[in-house]
A and B are shown apart, each in its own frame.
Chain A
Amino acid sequence: MGMIPNPTPTTLAVLFLGISILVFLMFLPALFELKKRRDAGPRMILDDIPAIPQLELALKIPISNIEEDVHFDYVAVLKTVSIITILPNLES
């Protein structure tokens, strides 16, 4: 082991501390996320079918991506649905 410097107790202690801090920092975000989940998951999958059924589907499945605290505003969605439903009648 000629090329490896003789470790002193101080070197070993610093090395151990350094590695411990590195590992801790590596897992710190995961610990935060485990303690207080911000990513709700699962990913919402929607059908590529006409607009109104799709919105109805979104209302039926309460799975939303709440990252950055963005939630489905169900009241707003319902209002949008009612507006879209009226639109064809307005044209005629």
Chain B
Amino acid sequence: MITEILEALFLFLTALMTAYLTRHYIFTLTVLKNSQEQKRDITTGNSTYQPTVSIIIPAHNEEKVIGRILQRMTELTYPKDKMQIIVIDDASTDNTGKIVEDYSKLFNYIEVLHRSREEGGKGKASALNVGFKHAKNEIIHCFDADYYPQRDILEKLTKEFCDPRVGVVQGRITVLNEPQNIVTRLVALERIGGYRVDQQARDNLGLITQFGGTVGGVRRRLLERLGGWDESILAEDTDLTFRSYLAGYKVRYVHDAECYEEAVESWRAYWNQRYRWAKGHMQCAFKHSLKVLKSNNLRLREKIDGLLLLNVYFMPVLVLCSWIIGAPLFFLKYSQWFSMFWTSMPVSLYSFVGNFAPFFEVGIGAYLDGRTRVQWLIPLLIFTFLYNILVCTKALMDLIISKISGRNCNHWTKTAHSGNGNSYIVS
């Protein structure tokens, strides 16, 4: 009896892995196919659709990087009379506030909102909501303090709002401090897989393109309708993505709109960031899975992709489960066929699951970027995957414990930025 239960469970997990495997193949092949046909839109810089935009930059102790993005904001080619930049000095204890004050004195379109220790430090969603209250313009863009965009990024992102069905846009993120160390190099690989392939394919196929919470914008009307960002969710970006789709809007991915980010530089920082993402994503899965299934605004393929996306951070945990279940089955099942099957499936499929930039996706992404040499590092992604198994398992356990105990577990661990990315930009 136990064997049958384990077997059924194992088959279920294998089926799930196969679904993710198939999804990754479809994404990769789609991007490969479209890369041959894709014509670069050279008219982006001349787009006549230029509504007013507000840019919100939440900043909590970002003195090492805030000057860099503000300087860049002043260099953007978007008409300055249509721009409002709001920096939320979110209970910073360093010089962040002063640096922003200096910029706001020099440039009248830069505003700073200071939050005290009592008001601030409650996470990004809370800071964004404060910024949103002060935003006056039609499109609300968000950038993190450690980012460094192209000068014409606003034109590229904003022109997508010409289409009234588009509620949210997302640009591409590229790691700035990639050469720093092995962590930043592996994060860069994950970003290549995630944006160059995953996001692009979702956009091409009309699936659930994900808003990453930065390097992107939201239509003001939609944000008002949704009531701003949900502060009870750690992954406020994923939450906004699904609420937008459920409200009948689309998210567009604009591959040409590129922006640098400063990636985490240590395994500890990597853990903290991924733990927050995993937990937030799982919160979204609990919140939205059923709504996605019932929604009248989503097509079948969007529902399937939406469910896969919502539950992606459960996969590392389920892969771990399949390994644990596979071991006793190996000894309980005597036939050679079964033993081969049981052991080979989890081992061969683990590398194809999750959102941790599966190997071939990253390989194709790097190839399309013309980065053949970086592909040599791809085998090392096995370590990030194993690490993510621990991260996601811990996140799930904490989430379950908090659900049972009723305690709030939404502590926001901010990613610290060293400013080392500055050395790659010479002004």
Residue numbers of A with Cβ under 8 A of B are 1-4, 26-27, 29-30, 32-34, 37-43, 45-50, 57, 60-63, 65, 67-68
Contacts and interface: CB of A to CB of B under 8 A. Distances in A.
Interface of B: 42, 44-45, 77, 150-152, 156, 174-179, 182, 185, 188, 256, 258-260, 331, 334-336, 339, 369-374, 376-380, 424-427
B282 to A, nearest CB: 30
Contact of A41 (B77, B178, B335, B425): B178
B176 A49 contact: no
Nearest to A50: B45
Contacts of A32: 376
B336 A57 contact: no
Nearest to A57: B151
A37 B44 contact: no
B376 A63 contact: no
Contacts of A57: 151
B77 A39 contact: no
Nearest to A66: B373
A48 B426 contact: no
A41 B179 contact: yes
Given A41-B374, A57-B151, A48 B424 contact: no
Nearest to A38: B373
Given A33-B374, A38-B373, A63-B425, 10 more contacts: A1-B334, A39-B373, A41-B188, A42-B177, A42-B188, A43-B369, A47-B77, A48-B156, A49-B45, A62-B424
A18 B376 CA distance: 22
Q: Which of B260, B370, B374 has most chain A Cβ within 10 Å?
A: B374
B100 to A, nearest CB: 23
Given A2-B334, A30-B377, A48-B152, A65 B371 contact: yes
Contacts of B369: 43
Contacts of A61: 424-426
The 5 closest A-B pairs by CB, nearest first: A39-B373, A41-B178, A3-B336, A29-B376, A45-B258
Contact of B370 (A2, A26, A65): A65
A38 to B, nearest CB: 5
B333 to A, nearest CB: 10
A32 B380 CA distance: 12
Nearest to A39: B373
A32 B375 CA distance: 12
A34 B97 CA distance: 39
A67 B378 CA distance: 16
Contacts of B156: 48
Contacts of A3: 334-336, 339
Nearest to A44: B174
A47 to B, nearest CB: 5
Nearest to A65: B370
B377 A33 contact: yes
A33 B371 contact: no
Contacts of B176: 42
A47 B171 CA distance: 13
B400 to A, nearest CB: 35
A41 B188 CA distance: 9
Contacts of B150: 45-48
Given A3-B336, A67-B370, A26 B424 contact: no
A39 B174 CA distance: 15
Contacts of B426: 60-62
A2 to B, nearest CB: 6
A65 B371 CA distance: 8
A24 B339 CA distance: 26
A45 B424 contact: no
A10 to B, nearest CB: 22
Nearest to B423: A62
Q: Which of A1, A30, A41 has most chain B Cβ within 10 Å?
A: A41
